[in-house]
Amino acid sequence: SQQGEEDPQALSIQEGENATMNCSYKTSINNLQWYRQNSGRGLVHLILIRSNEREKHSGRLRVTLDTSKKSSSLLITASRAADTASYFCATVARNTPLVFGKGTRLSVIA
């Protein structure tokens, strides 16, 4: 069963714009992670945020976590065509494996 649910399912923006994706989950977590997947390829880890953290940055990525609302957001600033991919959130609860959402398909148009 899916723990995380991403929103929107698909997002299309112009190069240079910011892209925001949201993830909601249902149970308490130890950490939440974001991954990227280019079409038909393996997933690449982007960032991990622990349950006691509220915000984390990595390059053009900014992740927030609100445990009271059981939600997270991923912001990609100044998007590039190379950012076109599917983005997944994955939650980790105590003694359980990573559970992935169904992802957001991001298209960045040059």
Partner 1 sequence: KAGVTQTPRYLIKTRGQQVTLSCSPISGHRSVSWYQQTPGQGLQFLFEYFSETQRNKGNFPGRFSGRQFSNSRSEMNVSTLELGDSALYLCASSWTQNTGELFFGEGSRLTVL
The residues that touch partner 1, with contacts defined as CB under 8 A, are 1-2, 30-31, 33, 35, 40-45, 48, 88, 92, 96-103
Minimal distance in Å, beta carbon 15 to partner 1? 27
Nearest to 71 by CA among 105, 20, 108: 20
Minimal distance in Å, beta carbon 98 to partner 1? 6
Contact 10, 110 (CB under 8 A): no
Cα(86)–Cα(107) distance, rounded to whole angstroms?
Answer: 9
Of 2 and 18, the one with the shorter C-beta distance to partner 1 is: 2
Minimal distance in Å, beta carbon 18 to partner 1? 25
The full length of the chain comes to 110
